[in-house]
Amino acid sequence: MIITNFSKQRNEFKEPKILKAKPNWQGQNLNDTAVKGKDTKKIQDTAPDGSIFNSLNRGRVAIFIDGLNLFHTALQLGIEIDYVKLLCHLTNGSRLLRAFFYTGIDLSNEKQQGFLLWMRRNGYRVVAKELVLAAENFKKSNLNVEIAVDMITLAPYYDTAVLVSGDGDLAYAVNAVSRMGVRVEVVSLQTTTSESLIDVSDCFIDLDSIKTYIQKDSNLGYSYRTPSNSNL
């Protein structure tokens, strides 16, 4: 499995019993991010479980998943994502602050409502926005603002951000939290990821290289409860 690593800094922290601001950054100043792309390194991971983070002290981790972007990536890879496996793989034993899942919703779609209920019950904080009608009767939603705001406002409480998206519009937010002393790992499909997003990240992971570890087993399925049969 291949990853691209742009940063050697380590992060030391003491694990708190309650949520509080992270300790001062102990690593290299990240103010100059423009030259990262010149010193890229490809690292071959040899861990038997496919983990990409075994050798890193990542501190407290916050995960930000662009649901629509990940959905289209999974279609291109020809897989269905197992979101329990994904969460475990991206966390990999680190202290998880929160895992956010951002998505547009169709309030008339009970199957989708059941899926989001399942996500909330299995470790994700769902941030949803109702789909709006765009040109040619096509419904869409954009949650880049929500992702950027959450990344920046929560930055004092985590040490490593894992952004699952390839959208270049998020590069400014990534650069902003990097300047606050946060390590940023971008996880997406390399062929569809914006170069500007890769350039400002500390580590880029190609989803194609970890798909074996995050795809759903073909003989298993999720048990989603729709609002009509939920006791909530």
Backbone angles phi, psi at 214, to 5 degrees: -125, 0
The pTM score is 0.75
Side-chain-side CA neighbours of 144 within 13 Å: the count stands at 13
pLDDT at 56: 72
pLDDT at 36: 38
What is the DSSP annotation of 177-220?
HHHTT-EEEEEE-GGGS-HHHHHH-SEEEEHHHHHHHHBPPTT-
Tell me which residue of 201, 193, 157, 158 sits closest to 176, measured CA to CA: 201
Separation of CA 219 from chain center = 26
Q: What is the pLDDT of residues 154-205, one digit of tens each?
A: 999 999 999 999 999 999 999 999 999 999 999 999 999 999 999 999 999 9
pLDDT at 17: 43
Q: How far apart are CA 20 and CA 159, in angstroms?
A: 12
Residues of the chain with pLDDT under 70: 1-55, 133-141, 219-232
pLDDT at 219: 58
